[in-house]
Chains A and B, each alone.
Chain A
Amino acid sequence: MNNKMEKLLIECITEHKENVYRLAYSYVKNADDALDVVQEAIHKAFSSAGSLKAESSMKSWFYKIVVNTSLDFLRKHKRIQIVDDQTLEVHGPVSEDQYANLDLKKAMDELPTAYRSVIVLRYFEDMKIEEMAEVLNENVNTIKTRLYTALNKLRITMSDDALREVK
């Protein structure tokens, strides 16, 4: 890797470190693991910088590494916790009214990773569809479809909950 590229990469990492941390956090859900992901993503970025062609796409490229590292992490550390109903009640939120966005949040958490990624990148990280396509390694149309489906799923899950509450 030449010096100019290395410098740009360091700038890119430094500029987006908080964003990529949140992005990682949105996958792994805790600070320690998110920090691990960020650290590993930076190592990967330097060692695979040769594959980076144009400076313009550096941000998307780096985000892509962070997303992939997060997914790898989840794959490696699949943690399944089985909790009985009683415990759930004790630890669960007592009053749903305190959490105005609880249902939506729950729906979001239940979204399959592929759909959650598009929502996070599009609406939380304010990325363009084209950038998302690069980050997620899909073509633009696939991203559009996936985003549409994701929004639909959120709405559907919510209306399901609403129906149940009415009953």
Chain B
Amino acid sequence: MQEQLKPLKEQYESIPIPKELDFIVKQAIKQRKKKTAYLKWVIGIAAAIVVCTTTGVNSSPALAKALSEVPVVGSIVKVLTFKEVVVDEGNAKATFQVPAVTNMTNQSLETALNNKYVEENKKLYDQFTAEVEKLKQNGGGHLGVNSGYTVKTDNEQILAIGRYVVNTAGSSSTTFKYDTIDKKNEVLITLPSLFKDDRYMSLISDNIKEQMKAQMKADDKKVYWVEGAAAQVIDGFKTIAPDQNFYINADGKLVLSFNKYEVAPGYMGVIEFIIPTEAIADDLVSGIYIK
């Protein structure tokens, strides 16, 4: 009987395996894991031949050179794209866009910021290449990394630069980091430096919680993980970090930012809360930055 079934077995075994199978399996595995480890660089990919089209992200000597070539347009502190690196290895794609601050008289701050931006991207680049290497050994998958920046605020007083990293592996995660610079005095503004004492943490946190609850009440599609809002919240938002991501917007309002998954489900994306100045006025050092 088995003899008779042989041709059928051969036929069964010759059912072609679509090339998407690998990806779909990896993605399905990853989606389950995401609940616990969404920020990890998980993955998958088709054995892409790695042909690096880049020499990596430059380090500081080259930075200095590149900056010296930038034509000086007035002596206004500004941000420009210092370097853009594109890696394309079939299923693994990455773009790194490195910003650079120029025209500062305060050279040490300028260098510190620019070095930081280069370092951040160098780290991403190294992580990416390591990940691709790992994927090749595991037989393949898809991976995408995209880093860049946006200028959130650029007025006479404030320059706020937001750097983002988008990781794509099945689904995507986005993280933002901000630097807010006082252009007149050329200093980097930190969150604690804006306030007289630690009270700002509870003032801001309470305001954000109120905003979360108000938004959820007004729109039932919005969900935040905040204590007191829903019974099933286990590890909800309690307080901002002392150095929580923030920037000052063009209206002189303090904006607090949370990365995807930080205080809400993934579909809510990156979340920003504009803090009404009245809520924090008591604790502000001055009204220069925040109005």
A contact residues vs B (CB 8 Å cutoff): 6, 10, 13-14, 17-18, 21-22, 25-26, 31, 35, 38-39, 42-43, 46-47, 100-101, 104-105, 108, 119-120, 123-124, 151
Give 11 pairs: A residue, B residue, CB < 8 Å, sorted on A.
A18-B17, A21-B17, A35-B18, A38-B21, A38-B28, A39-B27, A42-B32, A43-B28, A43-B31, A104-B4, A124-B8
A residues in contact with B1, CB < 8 Å: 151
User: Interface of chain A, helix or strand or loop or mixed?
Assistant: helix
* Any A CB within 8 A of the CB of B7: yes
The reply to whether A14 and B12 contact each other, CB–CB distance below 8 Å, is no
Question: For the complex, is B198 an interface residue (Cβ under 8 Å from A)?
Answer: no
Nearest B residue to A47 by beta-carbon distance? B32
Nearest chain B residue, comparing its CB with the CB of A32: B18
In terms of DSSP, what is the predominant structure of the interface of chain B? helix
With A13-B29, A46-B32 as known contacts, state yes or no: A105 contacts B8, CB within 8 Å.
yes
B16: nearest chain-A partner, CB-CB: A31
Q: How large is the interface on B (under 10, 10 to 19, 20 to 34, 35 or more residues)?
A: 20 to 34
Cβ A42 vs Cβ B12 within 8 A: no
B199 at the interface (CB under 8 A from A): no
Query: Does B232 reach chain A (CB closer than 8 Å)?
Result: no
> What are the 7 tightest A-B residue pairs by CB atom distance, in nearest-first order?
A42-B28, A46-B32, A101-B7, A124-B12, A17-B25, A22-B15, A39-B28
Whole-angstrom CA separation of A31 from B18 in the bound complex: 7
User: Which of chain B's residues has its CB closest to A105's CB?
Assistant: B8
A104, B8: Cβ atoms closer than 8 Å: yes
Name B18's closest neighbour in chain A (CB-CB).
A31
> Hey, which chain B residues are within 8 Å of A39, CB to CB?
24-25, 27-28
CB distance from A75 to the nearest CB of B (A): 22
The listed residue (B11, B16, B29) touching A42 by CB distance below 8 A is B29
**Cross-chain contact A101 with B11 (CB below 8 angstroms):** yes
In the complex, chain B residues whose CB is within 8 Å of the CB of A13:
25, 29
Collect the chain A residues with CB atoms within 8 Å of residue B28's CB: 38-39, 42-43
CB nearest neighbor in B for A31 = B18
Which partner residue on chain B sits nearest A151 by CB separation?
Answer: B1
CB distance from A98 to the nearest CB of B (A): 13
Q: Does B9 contact A (CB under 8 A)?
A: yes
